[in-house]
Amino acid sequence: MTEATGTAPRKRLLIRTWGCQMNVYDSARMADVLAPLGYAPTEAAEEADMVILNTCHIREKATEKVFSDLGRLREAKQAKGGDMVIAVAGCVAQAEGAEITARAPWVDIVLGPQSYHRLPEMVARASRAAGAVIETEFPPEDKFDHLPETTAPQGVTAFLTVQEGCDKFCSFCVVPYTRGSEYSRPAEAVIAEAKRLVALGAREITLLGQNVNAWHGEGPDGRAWTLGRLLRRLAEIPGLARLRYTTSHPRDMDDDLIAAHGDTPAIMPFLHLPVQSGSDRILKMMNRGHTADDYRRLVDRLRAARPDLALSTDIIAGHPGESDADHEATMALIRDTGFAQAFSFKYSARPGTPAATMAGQAAEEVKDSRLAEIQALLRDQQAEFNRSRGGMVVEVLVTGPGRHPGQMAGRTPWLQPVHFDGLANLAGRIVPVKILAGHPNSLSGAMAAPVNTEPRERPAA
């Protein structure tokens, strides 16, 4: 503590984040946990007193990027005379804690995604320890109960984790091993955090979970709520205009959640619903628990409830055992469904997963060829969807200034980035924009009507 101010000396914290939106949320909460210790954010490694790499273990390339970054941080730490705390967090830390300390002994802290509420204690231990402090067990206490209620503003759009872990055990996926079994936060805790985010300026909140539509948190009445019921309750918060959720599993898209898409206007007409493959044989090998036609029927039900619904998905090319016919079945499902966005990857073996030791591992050139075909089709579908918005007047949530002077940027209900000429005071407003052109990855438009500069809020519930 300093005598002049009675506060902790100011220190600099750099957090680098890979992977999913949940990692983005986790990084923000790690910053919140460390703020009382005097840590303030920086973007420069050379001036950082502490660096946290919040990692993703989904693909091998992401893991190797972590070790490359650690090599560069070693030099930065040496330049500061060793006066830098380096921490590796997230799923790579959970899966490969011992390997991290063996390959990069200059790392001070290794912590899994269930342990970041213990960061202040770990920082103190690291200052006294001769070796790395490692926390990769699944602690018995709920980390959410130990996080500070105060949080830094996320901006106009915000993430809120409501569910963690997964019990599905898909053949290719490390999440059950790095994030543990499914856990749902209580409804009241979620609602309270959502209200805090709105008070800090959020107009749109995306609920996060590895398997978010499996959420079944305890409600105020002591009974388990569905995600649909939670979304309806969140939609009543004054000032909260838009709701989204990701990532979903087809097996957990229940009747109530489908109905919520039709009866709750705050739920945006855009859904990320991973299918992974269009081949029933491969879906069975993946342990997905649904068929390609199950997915098609589910999409039909969702679009019946919300006719303007747009879909995003995940596709894996070259899962072990995949044949040319299986690949063609995936192409057929993509053509039948029509996706506004998609994430597609070639299969990458992750240690400890069932698929890593399956027979029929595809050659890299086969995976590359199939992925190229999948991505070409998906790019065409995304470009066509963006073009189809041309001439429409859509409500755009303004997120801030655009790339050019006098330009604003925002998001459509379908999560498309849009740039349009506008005043500098529109951030956080929802404004009508006429879409003039659809581009492969974004839209351009013009203001369609005069703007009320006051936020549009619902009456208090």
* Residue 287 in marked binding region: no
CA-to-CA distance for 346 and 352, rounded, in angstroms? 18
* Residue 59 in marked binding region: no
3-state secondary structure of 323: coil
Tell me 458's DSSP state: P
Residue 128 dihedral angles phi and psi, to the nearest 5°: -105, -20
* Residue 56 in marked binding region: yes
* Residue 11 in marked binding region: no
CA-to-CA distance for 142 and 414, rounded, in angstroms? 34
Tell me 286's DSSP state: T
* Residue 153 in marked binding region: no
Which helix (H) or strand (E) covers residue 338, if one does? none
* Residue 1 in marked binding region: no
Token couple for 249: 């599993």
3-state secondary structure of 327: helix
Token couple for 156: 């106009």
Residue 87 dihedral angles phi and psi, to the nearest 5°: -125, 140
| 397 neighbors 252 (Cβ within 8 angstroms) | no
Tell me 217's DSSP state: P
Sorted by sequence, the CB contacts under 8 Å of residue 140 that are 6+ apart come out as none
Token couple for 134: 């490692």
Tell me 212's DSSP state: G
Task: Give how far Cα 12 sits from Cα of 16, 29, 38, 122, 343, Å.
Answer: 13, 16, 8, 17, 34
List binding-site positions. 20, 56, 91, 166, 170, 173
List binding-site positions for [4Fe-4S] cluster. 20, 56, 91, 166, 170, 173
